[in-house]
Structure 1
Amino acid sequence: MNWREWVMLDQMMADVMKYQSEIWQAIGETFVMVGISILAALLVGLPLGTVLFLCRKGQPYANRLLFTVLDTFVNIVRSFPFLLLVVFLIPFTRLIVGTALGTLAAAVPLAVVAIAYYARLVEQSLLDVPRGVMEAASSMGASTIQMIVKFLYVEARSGLVLGLTTATISFISYSTVMGVVGGGGVGDFAIRYGYQRFETEIMVFTIIIMIILVQLIQFAGSALSRLLDKR
């Protein structure tokens, strides 16, 4: 590195130390929003995706009406421009958390997207399970819950983990625009302190943080998926 690069690096570190508390707060807000969205994806998106799979045409529990309703909901949410969805859900957000501003309020539309997004990934993962698995479970007298938990999820666990990894990275990307409702987070910090104050070093640093975070999540998710894949 030449002296100019050293000067730029020194300036970046000085700016980072100046906003140290704000950076940690922004990272914490991002973790809260993404954490809530992951929880919503697992608690609601996973069962929703499973029901979509079971209700499809040709499946043992085929139900055209239920499948159409759920499939339409998932398609609408996933096709909705995220920023417009945030604004559209403001009345619902107020109903849930009592306010439309703040980190918890920002987590509501993010959770709705997480549910629809992961539900579709779950459905796709379960569709990759060989049909013989369900037939074997049925022949052994397994109940519906046993068939889902002990057979379908076990066979699809690698795909489910990869799907959740992909979804988590998308949630992080969505969280960067939550400053529009005062949600904070790393993206909002980069805009307010980096872009609006013309401190390019701060914006570059926050971008580096996001890249490192995404790479760590992708590495961990891929490694766990390979570990669970017994095929």
Structure 2
Amino acid sequence: MIQRVIAYVYKRTLFRVYRSYVNEKHKKKLTNKNFSIISNNCIGGITCSDLDQPFNSPTVDCFFYSSCYIKFCQNLKYYFSQELVEVPESKYAGKCGYVVAHLDDIEIHFIHDQDFALAKEKWDRRKQRVNFDNLFFTMSDRDLCDESDIDAFLNIDKDRAVFFSAKKRSNANNFIYCYNEKGEITTPLFAMYRVFEKYFNMVEWLNTGSIKAGEK
């Protein structure tokens, strides 16, 4: 119980103060301000929020199972041309307590939405903002991710696609080995508390496409 209280206080007070300071520092360093981050989890949306940038991608507030995400990334323009259709349940997880939808043969989980019309409105609006000349891709090792998914993702764009993993599964430069994490990357905590910043300099990547270790 005491640990829960401490965690709650940290989240509501100390962490917010700390992030306010860090975000201001990062915003001053950011020079590339018209980017789109395609992400299979919360990292893309959190990064845009921290840097006070618009959501130039519809993948904010949703997640994909790995095989669907790979298909999506490999053929973005095709899938953006498809109509989002609500489905009653996930082919991976059955009934869900949030909106699940298909774009042709891929499935998208809108974990923060209970209303399909609202989820679709946000998706359709944000996909119009995607800057195909300034795209970045992020992915992490969860949601049924296997070795073939990792290889396929790493080859999408060696400078503009980074993969976060708690296991050493590749020697590729754009594979970010998060050596202190255990098992799979736990996306909510990994993104919410910006754990990825320990291993990867996000602002440097967005500015230059250069993949460097996080700031010490």
The TM-score normalised by the length of structure 1 is: 0.28
- The structure number with the bigger radius of gyration is 1
Structure with the bigger RCO (C-alpha within 8 Å, sep 6+) is 1
